[in-house]
Amino acid sequence: MTTQESSPRWHTLAGPRPVRWFLRSARSLLGKKLFFLSLLLVLALLFLAIFAPLVVPYQPLKTSPDEQFLPPSSEHWMGTDQFGRDMFARLVHATRLDLMISFSVVGLALVVGSLLGALSGFIGGKLDDVLMRVVDILQSFPAFILAMGMAAVLGNSIGNVILAIAVAYTPYFVRLTRGEMLRVRRLEYADAARCVGVSPWRTLYYHLLPNSITPSLVQAALALGWAMLDTAGLAFLGLGIRPPTPEWGVMVSEGAKNILSVEWWTWLFPGLAIFIAVFGFNGIADTLRARVMREE
């Protein structure tokens, strides 16, 4: 890593810097073992989620009463569950669903949170006061408990789980982006833009927003992992996604009923899938954060 590369020069006047910064960092991070491993795991899961459901010969919901609790074999790679359903087929379909949910949650929270935070920091005044009070109140609950309460009230559906967890996460992104916005709007290039007559909205959108979003992007990688754990946690409690839908948390909770017998594969594999996915996102977030902190 050369010194030229490591000095951030985002406050020039063009282009969505964070994207380029992200790619540049990713390239120099590839040497790092943890980052590489994490990236590999996430890519493998994405691959599995996209293609595996197309080639797995079993249906995730197809029950076969005479094939209950078969141990893992070449026929059923991860065995079968109490209804004779193929665990591997359920697992890969669940991968698709869980990835979809956590990307939706984080996408929603990131976009809404960052925009609100940027506006709040940029405009200030009454809007800022009101918004920050709302954020304060939402953050006076642990996120999982807030999501739990909302999921309970909204009722069980995939859309409601996404909504409940996204609302619980949005305050983090509001705060992060607002903090950055308060910092960057006082920098020289913001004055420069104003002096040459760039309109405030244009300044906000093209210059300030791209420069205040980096912490939120790092947080987003972390939040992808949280979203998986929280979705699965809610499902384990019986909230949000319900059996027989193939979802990791649902699968662990169905398998947990057989905990005191030999059928360990019914709960081990879906939990392992959660672990691999969350580890992947955490590893990426961890390395990115270390990098951002070093640059600052």
Chain contacts with other proteins (rule: CB under 8 A):
34, 133, 136-138, 140-146, 148-150, 152-155, 225, 229, 232-233, 236-239, 249, 252-253, 255-256, 259-260, 264, 267-268, 270-271, 274-275, 278-279, 282-283, 286
- Residue 242, both tokens: 């319900």
- Of 136 and 191, the one with the shorter C-beta distance to other proteins is 136
- Of 30 and 256, the one with the shorter C-beta distance to other proteins is 256
Give the helix ranges, DSSP H, for 124-247: 125-138, 143-154, 158-184, 188-195, 200-202, 209-212, 214-237
Please, what is the minimum distance in Å from the beta carbon of residue 134 to other proteins? Answer: 9
Please, what is the minimum distance in Å from the beta carbon of residue 122 to other proteins? Answer: 25
- Of 183 and 242, the one with the shorter C-beta distance to other proteins is 242
Beta bridge partners of 86: 80
Cα 285 from Cα 70, distance rounded (Å) = 38
Cα 152 from Cα 48, distance rounded (Å) = 31
Please, what is the minimum distance in Å from the beta carbon of residue 66 to other proteins? Answer: 27
CB atoms within 10 A of CB 13: 12
CB 225 within 8 Å of CB 281: yes
- Of 19 and 40, the one with the shorter C-beta distance to other proteins is 40
Please, what is the minimum distance in Å from the beta carbon of residue 38 to other proteins? Answer: 8
- Of 21 and 248, the one with the shorter C-beta distance to other proteins is 248
Please, what is the minimum distance in Å from the beta carbon of residue 253 to other proteins? Answer: 8
Please, what is the minimum distance in Å from the beta carbon of residue 160 to other proteins? Answer: 9
Please, what is the minimum distance in Å from the beta carbon of residue 76 to other proteins? Answer: 21
Beta bridge partners of 80: 86
- Of 141 and 189, the one with the shorter C-beta distance to other proteins is 141
Q: Is 79 exposed, middle or buried (0-12, 13-18, 19+ CB in 10 A)?
A: buried
Residue 85 CA to chain centroid, in angstroms?
A: 29
- Of 118 and 284, the one with the shorter C-beta distance to other proteins is 284
Residues 6+ apart with CB under 8 A from 265: 71, 72, 78, 79, 87, 255
Using alpha carbons, select from 204, 165, 199, 178 the residue that is nearest to residue 116.
178
